Amino acid sequence: MEKGYFITGTDTNVGKTWATIALMRYFKSRGKSVVGMKPVASGCVMQDGQLKNEDALLIQENASVSIDYDLINPYAYEPPVSPHIAGVNNPVKLAQLIDKFELLKTLADIVVVEGAGGWYTPLNEREANSDLAIALALPVIMVVAIRLGCINHALLTYQAIKQSGVDCGGWIAVCTDPDLLSRDENINAVKANVDAPLLGVLPYKEVADFGFFSEQLKI
């Protein structure tokens, strides 16, 4: 494997999946083979006798090679709640996630791993997304939803990433509020206070345009 990335967000519903698919498309357009992983997902629905997550299905669809769903999303929970609550009867085991990630590494040049929720979202009673990112030893890309409060959320998340000792490879701004005042000023404030490159700004779209989004990135 050439490299991989762990995608985290400043909160839930900030555009992590849109950023993940855009990154996958970006690398594919540059001749790299790419697979994605959403290790833990809540809010899954039954399809063909198996719980599946809409975001994980998008990741599966955009991979360079055909991969079984179980490898992309090992822990699929039905309740749309924090994984440590949803998985009370089937708690996340980091060792299992690491094993599946190691297998994915053999299948493509780049593996893009989308975390669940934010940096400190708990995966089980003892471990959080941050622990998974540390265990995978991947550079972290922070996704920032550009909306009211985003500067505080971005700086707190970035500080937490740095304190965890992992490398922050950059951040992506996702414009989630079409009515936000001073959008550019908000982005510039985050840029001025985060010592990691801004990899791209994904403009507001009611429906995702992943081809367009991938063209907004510069890694």
What residues are labeled active site? 38
Report the alpha-carbon distance of residue 110 to residue 170 in Å, rounded: 16
DSSP secondary structure, 146-212, as one string: -STTHHHHHHHHHHHHHHTT--EEEEEEE---TT-TTHHHHHHHHHHH-SS-EEEEE---SS--HHH
Between 16-29 and 54-61, two packed helices, what is the crossing angle to 10 degrees?
A: 0
Between 129-136 and 94-105, two packed helices, what is the crossing angle to 10 degrees?
A: 40
